[in-house]
Structure 1
Amino acid sequence: MIRARFRMPLSEDIWVTEVSMSFPEATLRLLTGVPKGDRALELGEVRADDPEQVADVIRAHPDIFNYDELYVDEHRAIGQYEADEKSLYAFLWDSSLPPEFPIIVENGEMEFDLTATQKQFEAFGSALEETNRDYELLTLVHTDEQDSLLTDRQWEYVTVAYRRGYFEVPRECTLAELADAFGVDKSSASETIRRGAGRIIGQFIVSRE
């Protein structure tokens, strides 16, 4: 089994590109999405210093309809809405591989995970090349285990920690900053990252023995 994470720039005419580039420090997370006629019914989360401000801009966008705010606090806002634009993840459907959520958008770029067999992964790579899309392969993990090496939560936390420089020496990101980004306390963030990193290190050591 192969588990990979990709990053790719989004078209400038997509609503989520416009919003994310207007708030480059915010993280927009598509928690789930399903087609609904000519639109997509989506559940989206905003993580920002002022999430309500970002949510208000999403609600007012001409490509967004029937926005319902489900939750809001100092750092997060969650809303359900219909989007008049499905290309954010439509190419994943076209590849016959189901989209994995959350799909993350920051400053006009999308990140998503993919779990596939070697054959599926190669076919997806070929299809991606044919679209002439710019993309970056951020992580690639091979495993023969039937179960995923990490839980979805561990994968997300370790990946974000790595991207933000938490494992660098000296660190480029503090535990408090990561906890704030995830909307949890420091002890929860620390335990999840520690367990995830421990499983990755353990798998690497076992594979070399």
Structure 2
Amino acid sequence: MVSVSLTLDVPTRAWIGDLSREFPDARFRIRSAQSCDDVGVGFVEVLTTDSDPDAIVERMEAYDEVYTVEVFQRGADRALIQLEADDPLLLRVLDRTGVPIEMPFEIVDGEVDWELTTTRNRLSTLADELERSDIGFMVEHIWESVQFDRILTERQAEVVATAIDLGYYDSPRGCTQGELADELEMAKSTCCEILHRAEERMIKQFEDGDQPAFTQPKKHA
């Protein structure tokens, strides 16, 4: 598995690409979205600094591709809406590749940032589909997801996963080693020993060259 951060350049032929460039100060935060039979349904928060949200909604309604726009909340600098639109370019790319992305994500002045975790094969398929759809993109960074089960024993993986869940590795710590041992129903000394051996294995694995791989940004037209 790999985790990736992408910046996409939405073409102006997509109505959201055109609209976001017409109102470059606005942020279109996509809270949730799905597509069915080439129709996209989205729950979108529009945030502005200089533009009138009413003007943005009115312009949105004027696109032939947009069927309905329902405003749930409206303020001086924001609007919360649900919309249905034809030919959802970004959603169609995701549907064709089967790649899930983290939501919410934002579209600002024709650009959108995506965070996703997938396999290398699906990532390659996504890149091909973006290029076929005439969507420019830049890889901001990419790294391998650590597979604990390849490095640790089953017991070590359980202890490390529980430590992460309880915030043991957070700063400040979310739990003490004693609290971690209590959660796992084991002696503190046993927990300490298992955790130490697990950390040793992971560090040595990274030393052998299996550390996350970061790339320099690459621009695709």
Q: Report the Cα offset of residue 41 of structure 1.
A: 1.5
Equivalent of 1:78 in 80, 105, 119: 80
**What's 1:121 paired with?**
123
- What is the number of residues matched between the two proteins? 155
Let me know the Cα RMSD of the aligned residues: 3.2
Give the partner amino acid of 2:4.
A
- Check whether the contact 1:9–1:134 (CA below 8 A) recurs between aligned residues: yes
Q: Deviations over 1:69-112 (max 9, x none)?
A: 01223332110111122112211211122344224211122322
- Check whether the contact 2:97–2:122 (CA below 8 A) recurs between aligned residues: no
Separation in structure 2 between the aligned mates of residue 52 and residue 141 of structure 1, nearest angstrom: 41
Which one has the largest radius of gyration? 2
Q: Relative to 1, partners in 2 of residues 1:125 and 1:34: Cα closer, same or farther, differing over 3 Å?
A: closer
Q: Relative to 1, partners in 2 of residues 1:128 and 1:17: Cα closer, same or farther, differing over 3 Å?
A: closer
Q: Deviations over 1:111-163 (max 9, x none)?
A: 2222113443344345545666421012324331678xxxxxxxxxxxxxxxx
Q: Deviations over 1:160-188 (max 9, x none)?
A: xxxxxxxxxxxxxxxxxxxxxxxxxxxxx
**What's 2:144 paired with?**
142
Q: Relative to 1, partners in 2 of residues 1:3 and 1:72: Cα closer, same or farther, differing over 3 Å?
A: farther
- Check whether the contact 2:100–2:118 (CA below 8 A) recurs between aligned residues: no
Separation in structure 2 between the aligned mates of residue 22 and residue 57 of structure 1, nearest angstrom: 10
Q: Percent identity?
A: 21
Matched, 1:53 2:61: no
**What's 1:26 paired with?**
26
Q: Deviations over 1:175-203 (max 9, x none)?
A: xxxxxxxxxxxxxxxxxxxx89x9xxxxx
Q: Report the Cα offset of residue 42 of structure 1.
A: 1.4
- Check whether the contact 1:15–1:85 (CA below 8 A) recurs between aligned residues: no
Q: Which structure 1 residue ranges, 5 or more long, are not aligned?
A: 148-194, 199-205
**What's 2:5 paired with?**
5
